[in-house]
Amino acid sequence: MKSVYIESSVISYLTARPSNDLVKSARQAITIDWWENQRHRFDIFVSELVEEEISRGNAEAAAKRLDIASGIPNLDISETAREIAETLISDHLIPAKSPEDALHIGIAAAEGIDYLITWNFTQFNNAETKIDISKLIENLGFTAPTLCSPEELGGTND
């Protein structure tokens, strides 16, 4: 089975109260559909970083997020992951103000994860940056995870 690293934004959309915002509402529906119908096709993972991020904010909402993550295998934050993250920042592919975003990518790359799903289009899941991120990771000697949203990982091919 292919592997998927589930970034914090996906769990947040999965557990959030229904939104009146059209984009957020659509992302919530897509995330719920992926969770219910697609996740079983993959070996799914989170990390210590995901657990830390989803524990922030409103205590009731954080408890829902942590409950979802509690049944998912947890990847450690290795020194290799930290080095990849530092390189992503030093090469200006991820802003220095967003070290956690770089670390998500570093964890997935260091662990050989096939896909990193996220709703973070601003920092790393966008057409302008994800190709360069993949090239850099491959130049470091790792296989880059495919950066995508739950919507993009909704097919039926194994």
pLDDT in tens, 88-122: 999 999 999 999 999 999 999 999 999 999 998 87
Name the token pair of 45: 């993972």
Global pTM reads 0.93
Q: Which two tokens stand for residue 76?
A: 């450690």
Mean pLDDT along residues 14-20 = 93
How much of the chain exceeds pLDDT 70, in percent?
97
Give the Cα separation of 63 and 10 in Å (integer). Answer: 15
Q: Name the average pLDDT for the chain.
A: 94
Euclidean distance between CA atoms 129 and 111, whole angstroms: 21
Q: What is the pLDDT of residues 140-149, one digit of tens each?
A: 999 999 999 9
pLDDT at 158: 45
